[in-house]
Amino acid sequence: MSLNIRIASQLIAAFIVCLGTAGVGRAAPPGDEPLPRPAFRYTGADLCVKCHRSEQGEWCDVATTAAWRHDAHSRSHEALSSDNERTRAMEVALGIKAAATASCVACHTHPVDEPAVDEETNVLHAGISCETCHGAGSGYLDPHMQKSWRFLSSAEKEAFGMHDLRNPVAKAKNCLSCHLGEVATNRIITHQMYAAGHPPLPAFEMEAFGAGMGRHWKRVWEKSPQIQEQAAKAGYETEGACELSRSLVGSLVALQESVHLARDYAAAAETNAKDRPWPELAVYDCQACHHVLAVPSWRQEAGYGQLVPGRPSLVRWPRRLAAVAFEQAGMATDVDALLSPVVGVLNSRPFGTADGLRRVAEDSGREIDQAIEALVRWRRDETLADRERVAIEQILASGQNVGDFESARLLAWGLIHGLSSNADWPEDVRARKIAELTALLALEFPTPAYPSPPAQEKPFWQTSLAAAPATDIGRVRAAFELPSAARKPAPTVIEVIPTPR
């Protein structure tokens, strides 16, 4: 059967599924409202593993599961077991069973409609699965085995149910649904869960976390020259221009999603106050309340961004790198001013009101989308090094005035991505700076990413938690100093297409 015929037949099948004939999987666990049913059926990771456990030729020349089996995601389901001491304590405190609570299952294992893993192997685990991130596979399982699949557009692949994770915006939203939270899929960590012992979520930067977990894919420019030539002729692109460009896009998406999280929770609280009581303290900046009391303090020095002192804000860590992203997009956007409608609601009453936050949370979206539109136009061409250098210098300037640990980490990760690929500074200077920031801000992930007993390495969240209160913000600011770049070409002018208002 030709690919075009397959496309037609699969789209018809997808339409039928959307009308309500999705396959029956496991029932949603009790404890929360059921998760949304997928438009396509889940096929199960065992089918993915049958092919991706072995070499797939020049396009997929590294065995995917060789990396995936060491990824923390593949074994995240182990956190749901009552054999886990921390989980058992949380279950007692909250009166739940983690494996039977939808909000726990939603982030720690594969979708409830996906076939269960009956027997784990050295390459197949029951944690977050292939389809959790790439989409339910019933539509694309057969077509994606054909060579012509590689050169379909992202929109064509999405029509088969495959998530477009080559798109840095889609990828960031996919990751942040767990690493920040998402109401629609029940991926919500509550203040009760934190109080009962759930580890706090650190600031999330998708490129650093992806590298820390161990990439199980290759980008086009990392493949053989022959494959790169084929890809160029077909107009095939992957994941933006470079790590730094994706990091900047990710910071804007995180900023936007932090507002959406508050908005969506507020809307849920208005319609379902029993299960979504207002306010939910976990959607705000933890350090607004949980910080060392000192006078003078870094918080007083950093200022409050129009917020009444003492009022909790939405999460702060995406804001400084997002400000650099706006600069790189050619936009003179003040992030605090952008969030002023939300700040106004929080100023009128601590934590705001559900109705107030729901009404004002959309105001920031237009400018963020416009900045993202400019940044995704970065290309791997002769202008890239200049773009990177200018962004690096902007990050350095921001870091020298940073006021908190988590914002500094996001800036540092972005800076490291830029310094790793940009040769405007001597190699030894860049290496020393990367090592200094990595040690000072506890940026290093354990290896392997999921250290199992009897491994002595602590998980990343634990090293993060220990580093935060011990950090000297003065030393952090000093670490964002570098000598001037060796060459200083004129900065690239980025054309920004105004968004109609």
In a domain, 200, yes or no: no
Structure confidence at residue 88 (pLDDT)? 96
Q: What residues pair up with 284 in beta bridges, in sequence order?
A: 314
Mean pLDDT of 243-269: 95
- CA-only gyration radius of the chain, Å: 23
Same domain, 284 and 140: no
In a domain, 54, yes or no: yes
Same domain, 159 and 264: no
Mean pLDDT of 47-71: 80
Same domain, 17 and 109: yes
The structure's pTM equals 0.88
In a domain, 411, yes or no: yes
Same domain, 155 and 247: no
Query: Quick one: how far is CA 54 from the chain centroid?
Result: 28
- Across all residues in the chain, what is the average pLDDT? 86
In a domain, 282, yes or no: yes
Closest CA to 141 of 131, 132, 151, 133: 131
Give the model's confidence band at 103: pLDDT under 50 very low, under 70 low, under 90 confident, else very high: very high
Three-state DSSP class for residue 284: strand
In a domain, 264, yes or no: yes
Same domain, 11 and 153: yes
Q: What is the pLDDT of residues 226-254, one digit of tens each?
A: 988 988 888 887 778 899 999 999 999 99
In a domain, 170, yes or no: no
Give the model's confidence band at 446: pLDDT under 50 very low, under 70 low, under 90 confident, else very high: confident
From CA 205, how far away is CA 427, in angstroms rounded?
24
Least confident of 29-38, 116-125, 342-351: 29-38
In terms of residue numbers, what domain contains 306?
Answer: 243-479
From CA 467, how far away is CA 443, in angstroms rounded?
10
pLDDT at 13 over 50: no
Mean pLDDT of 30-37: 52
Among 125, 143, 164, identify where a domain stops. Answer: 164
Mean pLDDT of 309-333: 94
pLDDT at 162 over 60: yes
Same domain, 19 and 156: yes
- The Cα-based distances of 293 to 124, 316, 467, 483 in angstroms read 47, 19, 17, 35
Same domain, 253 and 149: no
Same domain, 261 and 149: no
How many other C-beta atoms lie within 10 A of the C-beta of residue 110?
27
How many residues are there in the chain?
501
Same domain, 395 and 286: yes
Same domain, 139 and 271: no
Instruction: Indicate the number of domains in the chain.
Output: 2
Among 114, 145, 164, identify where a domain stops. Answer: 164
pLDDT at 23 over 50: no
Check: CB of residue 62 under 8 Å from CB of residue 161: no
Same domain, 255 and 389: yes
In a domain, 128, yes or no: yes
Same domain, 304 and 442: yes
Structure confidence at residue 501 (pLDDT)? 40
Q: Which helix (H) or strand (E) holds 175?
A: helix 168-179
DSSP letter string, 91-151: HHHHT--GGG-HHHHHHHSS-TTSPP-SS--SS--SSS-HHHHH--TTTTTTGGGSGGGGG
Among 164, 197, 225, identify where a domain stops. Answer: 164
In a domain, 183, yes or no: no
Three-state DSSP class for residue 391: helix
User: Any idea what DSSP says for residue 71?
Assistant: S
Least confident of 19-33, 143-157, 292-306, 311-325: 19-33
